[in-house]
Amino acid sequence: MAKRIDVSDLNVYYGAFKAVEGVTMTVEPRSVTAFIGPSGCGKSTFLRTLNRMHEVIPGGRVEGKVMLDDQDLYASNVDPVAVRRTVGMVFQRPNPFPTMSIYDNVAAGLRLNGVKGKKKLDEVVEKSLNGANLWNEVKDRLSKPGAGLSGGQQQRLCIARAIAVEPQVLLMDEPCSALDPISTLAIEDLISELKSKYTIVIVTHNMQQAARVSDQTAFFNLAATGKPGKLVEVDHTQKIFNNPGVKATEDYISGRFG
Amino acid sequence: MASVTGVSVADELPGPDGRGPLSGDNAGTGRLGDKAFAAAAKGSGALVIGLVTLVGVFLLWQAIPAIADDKVNFLTSREWSVSDSDNLRFGIVELLWTTVAASTIAMLIAVPVGVAVALFITQYSPRWLSRPAASIIDLLAAVPSIVYGLWGLKTFTPWFDPFQIWLSDHLGWIPLFSRTGTSGTILLIGVVLSIMILPIVTALSREVFAQTPVTHMEGALALGATKWEMIRTAVLPFGRPGVISAAMLALGRALGETIAVTIIVSTLPQGSKWTWSLLNGGETFASRIANNAGEFDSPAKTGAFIAAGLVLFVLTFIVNAIARIVIERRKAFTE
């Protein structure tokens, strides 16, 4: 189910502006990779190229290669819609569909895939909500609006929505930055559980979070304002946090950053 | 009247008493500017409510005596003879049918087309095109109705007539399309009205569609939605209350449109046979009143026409109330 991601020499552009330059890295299946780095260094932009969500912004394009096992995501015959069904995404701010109930939010992706039978939907909705550690909290009010839940519950609802379509990879763009510490802990526990089934890539500004949840950490940085973001270093999380290979990484992690 | 967009502000949480944090008097500071603005706002609100109430009172006050003198049933009669004050015979059923049928046709055309145009402008068109396209649609709203009337009569009627004949030839077995031989038909005014209300539907729908939060749209796209699926999952549900409001505003205009309808529609002779055909002429409330505006010489006679106006007023009111209920019922799901 989970797949390996191989990125080689990837440049990302918005129109004429080069946002990210020369990223090469590998993400192992059934592992958690964290992207850290200062704001504007291109880590979210790079994350979005892994399911072609950057193309939603006018002028967004890439050079280079992203392989999902042996499938090139940017091959000319690949439909971005199909990519996004394989590589799911959770956003910074919880974004359940406000006009839909909890149930319909989780079922939304399945319905887009043409799944109709109520029995099948019921089954997947329960399984996904269970997978997101939310089932017990919402099982009695599945028909209530998803927007009525607390922030942390909403984010877990979004995770349930993303895993309902059984993606190979789950991308998370600062999934806890809008949440309180308790909800954050719940999401982090969930990430550790999901790791057994999915390949997970998470962007975070929280260094402790990266250290807690990830197996591998990638540090991104800007050479200077207006220059493209670059991958400085990627290694085992232990190594990055205890004995980084580059001085800039150490400075950033220890808070001595300019 | 329904709020123009019908969209509620998502981030404003109600306080313990259920009101928004900055509503009510608690936010006032007691300074002069504060007080003056509060008074002006309250005054304007009261003024609008007062005006609507006065219009209602005026209509009732003028219409009730005439309806009381009516020798036939006001709601079900097709007769309309008001020249003899001692023998008033008037009923509105035919006016009601013509008005509602023409407006329904207009809505059936204008709402889907208007929503589609709004979606094109906000979601599909390249950026350089969306502004000019929106302006051109808005321009349709600036064309005076008399111009639509003249255009409808002189240009559109001859062009539309062959289609009506074709319709009655092929679908004449359906009562709605049976042949009557008139050319200024209910169907024709329905089509002209739809063009007149199109800019209202488009402009308001465009506004709400453009406000769809990017996070909702990205949420749908990240699930692997195609563009159309994204619109169905995120844009349309978000814009729904706004579209309903837009449609009701447009319907209000269609129901009350006077001069274009008066010019185009073929009035029927007194006592002509009743038919359900949309290819028949007729008169709407507004066009009947306008056609006879020269004859308001006695209170009884005037009262008959004002009674017709009262029905139109109530009709518009009911339509708006229904729209309000539809929007309120789904309110929990719009925040």
In this predicted model, what pLDDT tens digit does every residue of A84-117 receive, in sequence order?
999 999 999 999 998 899 999 999 999 988 888 8
Close Cβ partners of B175 (under 8 Å, ≥ 6 residues apart): B275, B276, B277
CATH number, residue B249: 1.10.3720.10
Q: Is B247 within 8 Å of B113 (Cβ atoms)?
A: no
pLDDT of B331 reads 67
Q: How far is CA A99 from CA A95, A104, A195, B240, in A?
A: 11, 9, 31, 10
Q: Is residue B72 a part of any domain in this protein?
A: no
pLDDT tens profile B130-149? 889 989 988 888 899 999 99
SS3 A45: helix
Q: Is A37 within 8 Å of A207 (Cβ atoms)?
A: no
b/e sequence B217-231, b meaning 16+ C-beta within 10 Å = bbbbbbbbbeeebbb
Across the interface, which of A51, A147, A148 has its CB nearest the CB of B222?
Answer: A51
Q: Is residue B90 a part of any domain in this protein?
A: yes
Q: Measured between alpha carbons, how far is A124 from B46 in angstroms, rounded to an integer?
A: 54
CB contact (8 A) between residue A99 and residue B332: no
Nearest CA in chain B to A164: B223
Element (H, E) at A231: strand A229-236
What does DSSP assign to residue A54?
G
Close Cβ partners of A45 (under 8 Å, ≥ 6 residues apart): A12, A19, A20, A54, A229
CB contact (8 A) between residue A85 and residue B223: yes
pLDDT of B332 reads 63
**Domain span at residue B252?**
80-333
Which chain A residues touch B215 with a CB distance below 8 Å? 91, 93, 95
pLDDT of B78 reads 86
pLDDT tens profile A219-237? 999 878 778 899 999 999 9
pLDDT tier at B23, thresholds 50, 70, 90: low
Nearest CA in chain B to A102: B333
pLDDT of B247 reads 92
What does DSSP assign to residue A228?
P
pLDDT of A29 reads 92
Asked whether residue A120 carries a pLDDT value surpassing 50, the answer given is: yes
Q: Is A169 exposed, middle or buried (0-12, 13-18, 19+ CB in 10 A)?
A: buried
Q: Measured between alpha carbons, how far is B248 from B319 in angstroms, rounded to an integer?
A: 7
CB contact (8 A) between residue B330 and residue A99: yes
Across the interface, which of B216, B225, B333 has its CB nearest the CB of A95?
Answer: B216
SS3 A100: coil
pLDDT of B226 reads 92
Among B100, B147, B138, B133, which residue's Cα sits nearest to residue B255?
Answer: B100
Q: Measured between alpha carbons, how far is B194 from B108 in angstroms, rounded to an integer?
A: 8
The pLDDT of B291-300, averaged and rounded, is 84
pLDDT tier at B155, thresholds 50, 70, 90: very high
Residues facing A174 on adjacent strands: none
Q: Is B39 exposed, middle or buried (0-12, 13-18, 19+ CB in 10 A)?
A: exposed
pLDDT tier at B10, thresholds 50, 70, 90: very low
Nearest C-alpha of chain A: how many angstroms from B316? Answer: 28
Sheet arrangement for strand A216-222: A71-72, A60-68, A5-14, A17-27, A229-236, A216-222, A32-36, A199-203, A169-173, A87-90
SS3 A165: coil
pLDDT tens profile B66-125? 898 888 988 888 888 888 878 888 899 999 999 999 999 999 999 999 999 999 999 999
pLDDT of B9 reads 43
Q: How far is CA B330 from the centre of its chain?
A: 22
Q: Is residue B54 a part of any domain in this protein?
A: no
Q: Measured between alpha carbons, how far is B177 from B156 in angstroms, rounded to an integer?
A: 19
pLDDT tens profile B305-319? 999 999 999 999 898
Look at A192-196, A232-236, B217-221, B329-333 and tell me which has the smallest mean pLDDT.
B329-333
Which chain A residues touch B225 with a CB distance below 8 Å? 81, 84, 112
More confident residue, B28 or B218: B218
Q: Write down the ipTM of this complex.
A: 0.90
pLDDT of B320 reads 87
Element (H, E) at A199: strand A199-203
Main-chain dihedrals φ then ψ at residue A214, nearest 5 degrees: -100, 155
Angle formed at CA B310 by CA B109 and CA B261, multiple of 5 degrees: 40
Among B203, B201, B197, B210, which residue's Cα sits nearest to residue B239?
Answer: B210
Element (H, E) at A87: strand A87-90
Long-range Cβ contacts of A183-192 (<8 Å, 24+ apart): A183/A150, A183/A151, A183/A152, A183/A153, A183/A155, A184/A152, A184/A209, A186/A133, A186/A152, A186/A156, A187/A152, A187/A155, A187/A156, A187/A159, A188/A212, A188/A213, A189/A133, A190/A132, A190/A133, A190/A156, A190/A159, A191/A32, A192/A32
Which chain A residues touch B224 with a CB distance below 8 Å? 81-86, 109, 112-113, 165
> Across chain B, what does the average pLDDT equal?
86
The pLDDT of B18-29, averaged and rounded, is 60
pLDDT tier at A34, thresholds 50, 70, 90: very high
On whether any CB of chain A is under 8 Å from the CB of B13, the answer is: no
Asked whether residue A9 carries a pLDDT value surpassing 80, the answer given is: yes
Give the total number of structural domains in chain B: 1
Q: Is residue B316 a part of any domain in this protein?
A: yes
The pLDDT of A182-192, averaged and rounded, is 90
Q: Is residue B18 a part of any domain in this protein?
A: no
Q: Measured between alpha carbons, how far is B34 from B26 in angstroms, rounded to an integer?
A: 12
Task: Give chain A's domains with CATH numbers.
Answer: 5-253 (3.40.50.300)
pLDDT of B183 reads 82
The pLDDT of B216-223, averaged and rounded, is 93
SS3 A251: helix
Among A89, A60, A237, A50, which residue's Cα sits nearest to residue A172?
Answer: A89
Counting every residue written for chain B, the total comes to 335
Nearest C-alpha of chain B: how many angstroms from A232? Answer: 28
Q: Is B310 within 8 Å of B289 (Cβ atoms)?
A: no
pLDDT tens profile B235-292? 999 999 899 989 998 998 999 999 999 999 988 887 788 888 888 888 999 999 998 8
pLDDT of B6 reads 42
Q: Is residue B328 a part of any domain in this protein?
A: yes
Nearest C-alpha of chain B: how many angstroms from A155? Answer: 12
Q: Is residue B157 a part of any domain in this protein?
A: yes
Within 13 A of B194's CA, how many CA atoms are on the CB side? 20
Main-chain dihedrals φ then ψ at residue B184, nearest 5 degrees: -85, 75
The pLDDT of B158-186, averaged and rounded, is 87
pLDDT of A199 reads 94
Q: Measured between alpha carbons, how far is B223 from B183 in angstroms, rounded to an integer?
A: 53
Q: Is residue B59 a part of any domain in this protein?
A: no
pLDDT tens profile A133-186? 899 999 999 999 988 899 999 999 999 999 999 899 999 999 998 888 888 998
